[in-house]
Every structure is written in structure tokens, then in C-alpha cells.
Amino acid sequence: MMQAMQLTKPKSVDDNPLAAVELPVPQPGAGQLRIRVRACGICHTDLHTVEGEIDLPRLPLVPGHQIVGVVDKLGDGANRFTIGDRVGVPWLYHTDGTCRYCASGRENLCVNARFTGRDVDGGYAEYMVAPADFAYPLPAGFDDVQAAPLLCAGVIGYRALRLSEIKPRGKLGLYGFGASAHITIQVARHMGCAVYVFTRGEEHRQLALQLGAAWAGDAGEHPAPLDAAIIFAPAGGLVPQALAALDRGGTLTLAGIYMTPIPQFDYALIYGERTVRSVANATRRDAEELLALAAKIPIHTEVQTFALADANRALQMLKAGRIDGAAALKIGH
């Protein structure tokens, strides 16, 4: 048996929706790995999952999709890794490989995609299983806890940065400064971009400045016309504010899986060939490129750690904006 934190019914994190349970240790099927989990990053998607803000195909469910662990057992045909290898498992768990999106290099939009910690049990547990083709070797320079946020916060931030079409030495705005943004700013600074961070928390502003932000302040301020902007916070009210800060021809990228309603705004905010686009999941190529770049820069992740049994408290702190950088469950063996 193994220890896990399980969701049986979505509700507010203030009501402690995750219960500590004992579950059978899973067995890998054909092409799968069994992973002894060492760390699992805590993500805003986990928060939206346990509070019922995104559809859940199955319950009960073990959340968690930024998983770092060691290969413990191999299913038939799982030849990419060997027992003892350290691997990471992200949000994208499996795609069909045959639909028109997969065939055109857009597997993040696969109509039959399955996601870790939503369609299958994730990493808030001592063990989990995953397809070998959707797991990744991790850079040696990152310990388990430091590597965990790269697997979603890092990958989604990287994809959002690419879709923003920001050019080297451009002016980039980041709205919200949590796990994704504190990684994304490091990639943007590596590109020579001037980064403007819009966040309410004073501790978040100080971290942004330490990581090289040109400015940090409130969302309603316009310190400079932006070439591109990314909204990480799940607040629809930020959309017109970010558009107002964009220069002509700029792109606004919405990086979250969930957002509150976007208020009505005047056409003038998108006139001038401004673009608004969303980010939906990420591809394996995104993950591979981000992990390689993380080692090259190298990216430094600020991570606050919690015990597995403290997953509810960690999510409560995330919701309250009391996590500086990222958070992760440390699941020792």
C-alpha cells in the first residue's frame, strides 16, 4: 500500500478537500513506467481541480502533475528508461497520435488527450504510473524539488512566451507573479527582454526585481508600451488592462487553464492589430526545449516545500497568494 492525498468531491480548499488515504501501489501496463515519487509541484491547475473550476472526468482522484521521481518498475515494451533513472512527468499524460492535431504537430490540442492528475491519478502520492513516451529525463543540475516546477509552470510559461511572439530585447509584461512567471522572467531576460511585472504582492514584486525585472507595480499602471504581455493570474479583469498597456501590433497571451469572466471592453483596445490568444496545454517538444534551456541558462526556481500530508495547507497558501515563487510536496522514501 502507499500513502496518497485523494479528492472525492470538489470543494473550497478552505474545507480541506484532500484526504490522506492508503491506496494499492499501481502496476505499470504495457509501455508504462512506475515511478517512486520524490517531489510533486503544486500548481494553480491543482487548485482549480480540487475546487471544481475545471471538469473532472473521474472521481476519486489523486491530483498533481509536476512529478519528479525514480523509475521503479517497467511495463512491457517500456524501453526509453531503465530502473533507477530520474524522470519527470508533466500535465500532458497521453495523446492518440492520430487525430488531425497530432498529425500537424499540435498534440497539445489532441481531441483524445489525457492529463495527469485529471484523467489519471497524479503525483500527490508515493507512486504513480505514466507512459514512457510522455516522461522526460531531468537536468542533473536541479535537485528534485527545484526540478518539479519546471514540468508545468516552466513548460507553460515557455509556451506562453513563444506564443507571445516577443522578440529579443523587446518589452514584455507579466501579469501575476507566481510559479510560472518567476521562471518565464528568467527565460525572457536570457533573451535580453525588458520585463515589466504587474502584481499586487510586495514580496512578489521584490522577487521580480531580484530576478531582473525592469519595473514591478500595479496592473493599472503603464510604465512603458509593451510589445507583448502574458497573463498568468486567472483574473479576466486583467485582460482590458493588459490590452491598454500593449503597443500597436502587440500580442496578449492568456496562460491559464481557467479564468474568471472577461469584462466587456471597447474595440479600441484591440484596434491597431493587437492579438489575444490562449495557451492550451503544451507539447512534448515544449517540455524538451524548456528543460534544455533551464540547464543552459541556468534557471533558478524558488520553491517552498511541504509534506505530502500538508497538501491542503499548501493549496490554501497558494490561493491566498502566500507562496513566493513555487511550491512542492516533498515525498521522501
Q: CATH number of the domain at 37, please.
A: 3.90.180.10
Rounded to whole angstroms, the Cα distance separating 311 from 90 reads 18
- The answer to whether residue 59 is domain-embedded is yes
Q: CATH number of the domain at 225, please.
A: 3.40.50.720
- The answer to whether residue 37 is domain-embedded is yes
- The answer to whether residue 283 is domain-embedded is no
Mean pLDDT of 274-300: 97
- The answer to whether residue 285 is domain-embedded is no
pLDDT in tens, 128-140: 999 999 999 999 9
Range of the domain at 312: 2-151+302-330
- The answer to whether residue 292 is domain-embedded is no
**Number of domains composing the chain:** 2
- Those residues whose C-beta lies under 8 Å from the C-beta of residue 164, and which sit 6 or more positions away, are 172, 228, 229, 230, 251, 252, 253
- The answer to whether residue 284 is domain-embedded is no
- Mode of pairing for the β-strands spanning 136-137 and 67-74: unpaired
Residue 111 and residue 50 share a domain: yes
- The answer to whether residue 126 is domain-embedded is yes
Which residue, 263, 278, 293, sits at the end of a domain? 278
Check residue 333 and give its pLDDT: 60
Average pLDDT, the chain: 96
Closest-CA residue to 147 (of 191, 86, 91):
86
Residue 61 and residue 12 share a domain: yes
pLDDT > 70 fraction of the chain, expressed in percent and rounded? 100
Rounded to whole angstroms, the Cα distance separating 173 from 164 reads 10
Residue 177 and residue 311 share a domain: no
Residue 114 and residue 196 share a domain: no
At 266, the amino acid letter reads: D
Rounded to whole angstroms, the Cα distance separating 314 from 147 reads 18
- The answer to whether residue 207 is domain-embedded is yes
What counts of helices (H) and strands (E) characterise the chain?
9, 17
**Rounded to the nearest 5 degrees, what angle is found at the Cα of 277, between the Cα atoms of 97 and 92?**
30
- Those residues whose C-beta lies under 8 Å from the C-beta of residue 268, and which sit 6 or more positions away, are none
- Those residues whose C-beta lies under 8 Å from the C-beta of residue 267, and which sit 6 or more positions away, are none
pLDDT in tens, 162-186: 999 999 999 999 999 999 999 999 9
pLDDT in tens, 16-25: 999 999 999 9
Q: Give the pTM.
A: 0.95
Query: What are the cell numbers at 26?
Result: 499501481
pLDDT in tens, 205-232: 999 999 999 999 999 888 999 999 999 9
Contact 128, 32 (CB under 8 A): no
Residue 314 and residue 198 share a domain: no
Residue 125 and residue 9 share a domain: yes
Residue 236 has pLDDT above 80, yes or no: yes
